């Protein structure tokens, strides 16, 4: 059959991605999951296969993109504006995690695929892009080296939180919520103590150091 246009295939990937993820709970990120998604959405199976020439990683990338899109839509109303930076980051990270509820097995399988050496570079790029979307929604306008360090560190934080979330069997994912909250609280205590020690000229809240402490503070 004739190939679809790039724009058409990009839209199709986004439309199929959530259904593929749901099917991947049982079938993994496989041709079977893709066929199931095509059936659920009434898509020509041949066209669906054409949209994902790279197999599992293409499917995973499309799902990550769909979560990015859902997050942008959720917070397009400006509801983050009245929040402090720590609340914005927490809200954005938690939205992404909560969006995966019920698909933990699929996400575990996706993480294993992304960890393969041949997929590592692409996985890092996906994490970077999602972190960039989060920081932009949080109001970050940095253009210096902080632009890069914030995104790299936040990508690491999200990856760590995701690993906890997919294995969390507590009611309402309470353990995952506590995992994130402890890091936020610990970072704020650290920054407050350090600002006091260094002097009033350093009492502003540094978001790069904040996110770095989130990543490396103990559980």
Per-residue pLDDT of 167-210, as tens digits, reads: 999 999 999 999 988 776 665 665 566 557 756 554 455 655 66
Judged against a pLDDT cut of 50, whether residue 2 lies above it is answered with no
pTM for the whole thing? 0.83
**Total number of domains constituting the chain:** 1
Is residue 101 a part of any domain in this protein? yes
**For residues 2 and 18, which has the higher predicted lDDT (pLDDT)?**
18
Joined tokens for residue 90 = 């927490």
Is residue 177 a part of any domain in this protein? yes
- 135-144, pLDDT tens digit by residue? 999 998 877 7
User: Residue 203: its pLDDT value, please?
Assistant: 45
58, 13 in Cβ contact below 8 A?
Answer: yes
Region at 206 (left for phi over 0; alpha for psi -120 to 50; beta for the rest): beta
Give dist(CA 4, CA 30) in Å, integer. 21
User: Residue 24: its pLDDT value, please?
Assistant: 98
Is residue 115 a part of any domain in this protein? yes
Is residue 20 a part of any domain in this protein? no
Instruction: Kindly state the average pLDDT of the residues 38-66.
Output: 96
- 63-118, pLDDT tens digit by residue? 999 999 999 999 999 999 999 988 998 999 999 999 999 999 999 999 999 999 99
User: Residue 191: its pLDDT value, please?
Assistant: 53
Is residue 42 a part of any domain in this protein? no
Is residue 21 a part of any domain in this protein? no
112, 171 in Cβ contact below 8 A?
Answer: no
Q: What percent of the chain has pLDDT over 90?
A: 65
35, 28 in Cβ contact below 8 A?
Answer: no
CA geometry: angle 18, 93, 24, nearest 5 deg: 25
Is residue 174 a part of any domain in this protein? yes
- 142-162, pLDDT tens digit by residue? 777 778 878 887 888 888 889
User: Residue 148: its pLDDT value, please?
Assistant: 85
* HEC secondary structure over the chain: CCCCCHHHHHHHHHHHHHHHHHHHHHHCCCHHHHHHHHHHHCCCHHHHHHHCCCCHHHHHHHHHHHHHHHHHHHCCCCCCCCCCHHHHHHHHHHHHHHCCCCCHHHHHHHHHHHCCHHHHHHHHHHHHHHHHHHHHHCCCCCCCHHHHHHHHHHHHHHHHHHHHHHCCCCHHHHHHHHHHHHHHHHHHHHHHHHHHHHCHHHCCCCHHHHHHHHHHCCC
Q: Which domain holds residue 99?
A: 81-216
Q: Calculate the alpha carbon distances from 68 to 5, 14, 54, 115, 127 in Å.
A: 23, 11, 20, 21, 11
Is residue 107 a part of any domain in this protein? yes
- Please report where in the chains the tokens 């993480």 appear, as a residue: 111
Q: Please tell me the total number of residues recorded for the chain in this structure.
A: 219
User: Residue 1: its pLDDT value, please?
Assistant: 40
């Amino acid at each position: 059959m004739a190939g679809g246009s790039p724009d058409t295939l990009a839209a199709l990937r986004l439309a199929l991605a959530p259904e593929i993820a749901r099917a991947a709970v049982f079938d993994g990120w496989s041709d079977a999951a893709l066929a199931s998604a095509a059936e659920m959405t009434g898509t020509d199976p041949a066209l669906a296969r054409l949209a994902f020439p790279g197999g599992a990683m293409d499917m995973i990338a499309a799902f990550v993109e769909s979560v990015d899109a859902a997050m942008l839509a959720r917070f397009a109303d400006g509801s983050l504006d009245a929040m402090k930076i720590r609340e914005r980051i927490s809200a954005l990270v938690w939205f992404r995690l909560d969006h995966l509820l019920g698909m933990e097995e699929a996400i575990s399988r996706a993480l294993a695929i992304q960890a393969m050496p041949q997929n590592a570079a692409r996985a890092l790029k996906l994490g970077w892009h999602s972190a960039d979307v989060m920081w932009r929604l949080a109001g970050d306008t940095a253009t210096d080296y902080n632009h890069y360090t914030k995104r790299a560190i936040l990508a690491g934080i999200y990856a760590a939180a995701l690993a906890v979330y997919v294995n969390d069997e507590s009611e309402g994912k309470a353990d995952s919520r506590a995992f994130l909250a402890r890091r936020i609280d610990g970072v704020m205590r650290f920054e407050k103590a350090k600002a006091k020690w260094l002097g009033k000229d350093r009492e502003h809240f540094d978001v790069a150091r904040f996110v770095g402490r989130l990543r490396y503070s103990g559980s």
